[in-house]
Each structure stands twice: as structure tokens, then as C-alpha cells.
Amino acid sequence: MKRILFIFFISNFLFLQGQEREPSIYTEIINSHLPKNNYSLKNGIPKEITIIDTLNLYNNETWIKKNKYTYLTKDKIQVTKYKNNELSAEEIIKIDKENRIIDYDGNIKYNDGKWFMTRINYIYEKNKKTIEKINDFGEIYIRYSIEYDKFKNPAVIKFDIVGPNYERLETADYDYKNGVFMILEFGYDGRLENETKGFINTDYVISKNQNNDITKMYWITSDKKDNIFHEFDYEYDKKGNWIKKIRTIITPNEPKKIISSTYRKIIYKN
């Protein structure tokens, strides 16, 4: 049961994750293979996309998130976010030709009700990504550097506080043959602080539909021996873009459980 709950925790954490959170080995693994860029379309030029995402948490709590993406230009998007019908963020993002965020400006509401401005730059290179947080004076004050292996999985994450130049590391050593990896976390003094063993599946996809969307998969960071599967059902519009996506988890000796329902309304320019 603990392992099942852990899978839910990772899934739920990703649902909550915003640009203001620090990257980790786990989040980078998921983002590398299953980026949550619901503003990305296969066909057509969008004018506005509204996404309503309902997540059923493992403790029977339900969260509803609504994101509205308004295209100011083809590569600049205004994003308004709501959590349980309450405004939670107002953002401007710039994307590249691969729909990756390259610049982020956000006004984010934290749990204590206070609002904070966040500005982030993203730099992409072959097998490397750099994330730079910018302060009110336009200066970089935190830099994250993520290096990836040939399977697009993060091998090294460097956390650098710019100015005093304090740096700490998080590394991952993968044993793909046996489907496991080891995370080593080092503090700012260079000493090893924590070791964590995880599971990794490079062949996590079991099946896809005619639109090349995943219909059944193992969770990427789960142990296949647990026989836990995720299934996806879709509905598509006339342009071939999905407008409904239902994610179901299947665990041994338990009934199927819908863990997320995502609806997407797309207004096209053409």
C-alpha cells in the first residue's frame, strides 16, 4: 500500500507543481517524458484554450484546476489559473518552436494568501537545461542546471545560489537493466546528505491509439512487479486535437479508479 500511495503522491505533486518550485530528479524524469503542456496542439492555430482539470487525490479529496491560455502572439501566451474556483496565478509565458517555455513571468498566490512575482528564464542545449530565477533588479539569484543522459533522464542537477555562489548537487545513477536508480543528494558543504533508491521504466508505454496518444502505460518511476497501470481515454475534435482525457489507475485486487479528468475547450484562429 505504501508504494501505491507514493505513486499517487508523485502524480499529485506534479499536478500542483508550478514554475516556482525547485526541479528534482523525479519531476525532471516525468517532465522529460510526459510534459504537462496542455496548451500544445497537434493541428490548427489556437486563439484561446481553456483547460479544466479535476484530480481525485488518494485521500478522497478532489481538486479542480482551471487554466486559461490566451495567445497574444504565436509564441507569447497569457495564462490565468484557478484552483477550486479561486484565482491562483496570472502568468505570461513565451514558448519556442517545440512548445517549451523559454521565459516565464508569474504573479502567484501562495498558501498563506500572499502574492509573489516570479520571473524565470529557460535555456535549452543538447542534453542540458538551465533555469535562471530573476529578482526585481533583473539579476539572476538562483540557477539550476540539469544534465540528461541519452534516455532524456536527469543525471545531475546543480543548485547554485548566485552571489555567494553556494552550490549543491543531486545526482542519479541509473541501472536500466534492472529498472532501478539511486539518487545522491549533496549539501552546500559537499557532504552526502541522503541516498534514495527509485524505480525507472524506459519502456513504460504499453499501447497508443491511432492519434499516437498513450492509452496504457506503467508509471515511469514505478516497479513493474507491482502490476499497476495507467489507462487513458480520449475524445477528439474535428482537427484531431483531444478535448477530453480521462486517466484511470488499475491496481491488483482493487477496482479501477479515475484519478484525473481533463477537459479542453479550444478556440482556433483558423
- 64, 263 Cβ separation under 8 angstroms: no
How far is CA 184 from each of CA 96, 172, 249, 260, 268, rounded to the nearest angstrom?
Answer: 32, 6, 30, 32, 46
Overall size of the chain counted in residues: 270
Apex 187 CA angle, 25 and 175, nearest 5: 35
Domain ranges of the chain: 2-268
pLDDT in the model for residue 12: 38
What is the distance between the alpha carbons of residues 226 and 254, in angstroms, rounded to a whole number?
Answer: 13
Beta strands in 74-213 (DSSP E): 76-83, 86-95, 101-109, 115-125, 128-134, 140-148, 154-161, 166-175, 180-186, 192-199, 205-208
**Segment-wise mean pLDDT, segments of 10 residues, the chain, 270 residues:** 39 44 92 91 96 87 94 96 93 95 92 88 96 93 96 96 90 96 94 96 95 96 94 97 97 92 95
pLDDT in the model for residue 164: 84
Is the dihedral angle over the CA atoms 102, 107, 111, 112 positive or is it negative?
positive
Please give the grid coordinates belonging to residue 220: 515511469
Round to the nearest angstrom and report the end-to-end CA distance of the chain: 49
pLDDT in the model for residue 236: 98
pLDDT in the model for residue 17: 40
How far is CA 44 from each of CA 135, 214, 270, rounded to the nearest angstrom?
Answer: 37, 21, 7
pLDDT in the model for residue 58: 74
pLDDT in the model for residue 3: 41
What is the distance between the alpha carbons of residues 231 and 256, in angstroms, rounded to a whole number?
Answer: 10
What is the distance between the alpha carbons of residues 153 and 174, in angstroms, rounded to a whole number?
Answer: 9
